[in-house]
Amino acid sequence: MRLKAVYTSVLLCLAVAASTSCGDNPAAPGNGGNGGALDVSGLWDYVLNVTVANGDCIGEEFEDNDNPESDSALFIQVGSNVSALAFWGSDDGLLHELVGTRTGDVITIIGSYPEEGGTTTRRLILTVNSDGTSMAGFEEWDWSDGVEDCPDGEAIVTASRQ
Protein backbone atom coordinates (compact mmCIF):
# COMPACT_ATOMS: atom_id res chain seq x y z
CA MET A 1 0.00 0.00 0.00
CA ARG A 2 2.87 2.36 0.77
CA LEU A 3 4.32 1.76 -2.71
CA LYS A 4 0.96 2.71 -4.27
CA ALA A 5 0.96 5.98 -2.27
CA VAL A 6 4.53 6.77 -3.37
CA TYR A 7 3.65 5.89 -6.97
CA THR A 8 0.58 8.15 -6.89
CA SER A 9 2.64 10.99 -5.40
CA VAL A 10 5.32 10.64 -8.08
CA LEU A 11 2.74 10.61 -10.86
CA LEU A 12 0.96 13.65 -9.43
CA CYS A 13 4.25 15.55 -9.20
CA LEU A 14 5.07 14.63 -12.80
CA ALA A 15 1.57 15.66 -13.91
CA VAL A 16 1.89 19.05 -12.22
CA ALA A 17 5.35 19.55 -13.69
CA ALA A 18 4.14 18.60 -17.17
CA SER A 19 1.13 20.90 -17.03
CA THR A 20 2.91 23.90 -15.51
CA SER A 21 6.05 23.67 -17.62
CA CYS A 22 4.12 23.90 -20.86
CA GLY A 23 3.54 27.65 -20.52
CA ASP A 24 2.25 28.99 -23.83
CA ASN A 25 2.89 25.68 -25.56
CA PRO A 26 -0.11 25.03 -27.82
CA ALA A 27 0.04 21.38 -26.78
CA ALA A 28 -0.47 22.20 -23.09
CA PRO A 29 -3.42 20.48 -21.41
CA GLY A 30 -6.67 21.90 -22.68
CA ASN A 31 -5.02 24.03 -25.38
CA GLY A 32 -5.76 21.61 -28.19
CA GLY A 33 -2.28 21.72 -29.74
CA ASN A 34 -3.08 18.74 -31.98
CA GLY A 35 -5.28 20.14 -34.70
CA GLY A 36 -7.85 21.37 -32.20
CA ALA A 37 -7.96 18.06 -30.32
CA LEU A 38 -7.72 18.20 -26.54
CA ASP A 39 -4.31 17.37 -25.10
CA VAL A 40 -4.19 14.05 -23.22
CA SER A 41 -1.49 15.11 -20.75
CA GLY A 42 -2.40 14.12 -17.21
CA LEU A 43 -3.21 11.17 -14.99
CA TRP A 44 -5.47 8.45 -16.41
CA ASP A 45 -7.02 5.37 -14.78
CA TYR A 46 -7.03 2.37 -17.10
CA VAL A 47 -8.60 -1.10 -17.17
CA LEU A 48 -7.28 -3.89 -19.37
CA ASN A 49 -8.97 -7.24 -20.18
CA VAL A 50 -7.08 -9.93 -22.11
CA THR A 51 -9.16 -11.20 -25.07
CA VAL A 52 -6.55 -13.29 -26.93
CA ALA A 53 -3.70 -15.26 -25.35
CA ASN A 54 -1.47 -17.65 -27.28
CA GLY A 55 1.40 -20.03 -26.69
CA ASP A 56 2.14 -20.57 -23.01
CA CYS A 57 -0.51 -18.01 -22.05
CA ILE A 58 -3.49 -19.86 -23.56
CA GLY A 59 -6.29 -19.83 -21.02
CA GLU A 60 -5.66 -16.30 -19.75
CA GLU A 61 -8.40 -14.87 -21.99
CA PHE A 62 -11.04 -13.08 -19.93
CA GLU A 63 -9.61 -14.69 -16.78
CA ASP A 64 -9.14 -11.18 -15.38
CA ASN A 65 -12.76 -10.09 -15.91
CA ASP A 66 -13.45 -10.39 -12.18
CA ASN A 67 -10.17 -8.64 -11.38
CA PRO A 68 -8.82 -6.95 -14.54
CA GLU A 69 -5.46 -5.20 -14.66
CA SER A 70 -6.17 -1.65 -13.58
CA ASP A 71 -3.92 1.16 -12.48
CA SER A 72 -2.99 4.73 -13.31
CA ALA A 73 -0.72 6.05 -16.04
CA LEU A 74 0.71 9.50 -16.61
CA PHE A 75 0.28 10.61 -20.23
CA ILE A 76 2.42 13.45 -21.55
CA GLN A 77 1.64 14.97 -24.93
CA VAL A 78 3.87 17.51 -26.67
CA GLY A 79 2.53 18.26 -30.13
CA SER A 80 1.83 14.91 -31.74
CA ASN A 81 4.34 13.03 -29.51
CA VAL A 82 2.83 11.05 -26.64
CA SER A 83 4.43 9.09 -23.83
CA ALA A 84 2.84 7.18 -20.98
CA LEU A 85 4.53 6.29 -17.68
CA ALA A 86 3.24 3.53 -15.41
CA PHE A 87 4.19 0.27 -13.76
CA TRP A 88 2.46 -1.54 -16.69
CA GLY A 89 2.22 -4.84 -14.82
CA SER A 90 5.97 -4.73 -14.30
CA ASP A 91 7.43 -6.64 -11.39
CA ASP A 92 10.65 -4.65 -11.02
CA GLY A 93 9.00 -1.80 -9.08
CA LEU A 94 10.02 0.82 -11.63
CA LEU A 95 7.99 3.11 -13.85
CA HIS A 96 8.27 2.25 -17.53
CA GLU A 97 7.57 4.44 -20.53
CA LEU A 98 5.58 3.64 -23.64
CA VAL A 99 6.13 6.15 -26.44
CA GLY A 100 4.41 7.01 -29.68
CA THR A 101 2.28 9.51 -31.51
CA ARG A 102 -1.15 11.01 -31.76
CA THR A 103 -2.84 11.51 -35.11
CA GLY A 104 -6.22 13.20 -34.73
CA ASP A 105 -8.02 11.33 -31.97
CA VAL A 106 -5.89 8.17 -32.24
CA ILE A 107 -2.92 7.51 -29.95
CA THR A 108 -0.46 4.71 -30.71
CA ILE A 109 2.19 3.93 -28.08
CA ILE A 110 4.64 1.05 -27.75
CA GLY A 111 7.30 -0.14 -25.33
CA SER A 112 8.89 -3.09 -23.54
CA TYR A 113 9.69 -3.82 -19.90
CA PRO A 114 10.73 -6.75 -17.66
CA GLU A 115 7.87 -8.87 -16.28
CA GLU A 116 7.74 -12.26 -14.56
CA GLY A 117 11.31 -13.16 -15.50
CA GLY A 118 10.86 -12.23 -19.15
CA THR A 119 10.04 -9.24 -21.31
CA THR A 120 6.63 -7.87 -22.26
CA THR A 121 6.16 -5.68 -25.32
CA ARG A 122 2.94 -3.67 -25.54
CA ARG A 123 1.41 -1.68 -28.39
CA LEU A 124 -1.70 0.29 -27.48
CA ILE A 125 -4.00 1.96 -29.97
CA LEU A 126 -6.47 4.25 -28.21
CA THR A 127 -9.14 6.63 -29.46
CA VAL A 128 -9.70 9.75 -27.36
CA ASN A 129 -13.34 10.82 -27.00
CA SER A 130 -14.37 14.30 -28.19
CA ASP A 131 -14.28 15.96 -24.75
CA GLY A 132 -10.92 14.39 -23.81
CA THR A 133 -12.21 12.59 -20.70
CA SER A 134 -11.92 8.98 -21.83
CA MET A 135 -10.04 6.71 -24.21
CA ALA A 136 -10.85 3.24 -25.50
CA GLY A 137 -9.12 0.81 -27.79
CA PHE A 138 -7.00 -2.29 -27.81
CA GLU A 139 -3.59 -3.61 -26.99
CA GLU A 140 -1.37 -6.05 -28.82
CA TRP A 141 1.16 -7.76 -26.54
CA ASP A 142 3.89 -10.38 -26.49
CA TRP A 143 5.75 -11.94 -23.57
CA SER A 144 8.74 -14.26 -23.51
CA ASP A 145 11.38 -15.39 -21.05
CA GLY A 146 13.44 -17.28 -23.63
CA VAL A 147 11.82 -20.62 -22.72
CA GLU A 148 8.12 -19.88 -22.53
CA ASP A 149 6.48 -17.63 -25.10
CA CYS A 150 3.16 -15.78 -25.40
CA PRO A 151 3.02 -14.27 -28.90
CA ASP A 152 0.30 -12.13 -30.46
CA GLY A 153 -1.86 -11.48 -27.39
CA GLU A 154 -4.65 -8.91 -27.44
CA ALA A 155 -6.63 -6.96 -24.85
CA ILE A 156 -9.44 -4.43 -24.62
CA VAL A 157 -8.39 -1.15 -22.95
CA THR A 158 -10.50 1.62 -21.45
CA ALA A 159 -9.21 4.71 -19.65
CA SER A 160 -10.67 7.74 -17.91
CA ARG A 161 -8.98 11.00 -17.00
CA GLN A 162 -8.54 11.60 -13.27
Task: Give residue 22's Cα distance to chain centre.
Answer: 21
Q: How far is CA 123 from CA 1, 14, 110, in A?
A: 28, 23, 4
Across the strands, what pairs with 37? 34
- Give 19-24 contacts, CB < 8 A, sequence gap 24+: 22/78
Please, which pLDDT band fits residue 65 given cuts at 50, 70 and 90?
Answer: low
Across the strands, what pairs with 77? 82
pLDDT at 104: 95
The domain tally of the chain equals 1
Please, which pLDDT band fits residue 36 given cuts at 50, 70 and 90?
Answer: low
Of 84, 96, 94, the closest CA to residue 135 belongs to 84
CB 75 within 8 A of CB 100: no
CB 54 within 8 A of CB 8: no
Predicted confidence (pLDDT) per residue in 89-124, tens digit: 767 888 999 999 999 999 999 999 998 899 999 999
Residue 32 pLDDT greater than 60, yes or no: no
pLDDT at 151: 97
pLDDT mean over 125-139: 96
Which CATH number fits the domain that encloses residue 90?
2.40.128.30
Ramachandran assignment for 27, one of left (phi > 0), alpha (psi -120 to 50 degrees), beta (any other) = alpha
Strands 118-128 and 149-161 come out as unpaired
Residue 156 belongs to domain spanning = 2-161
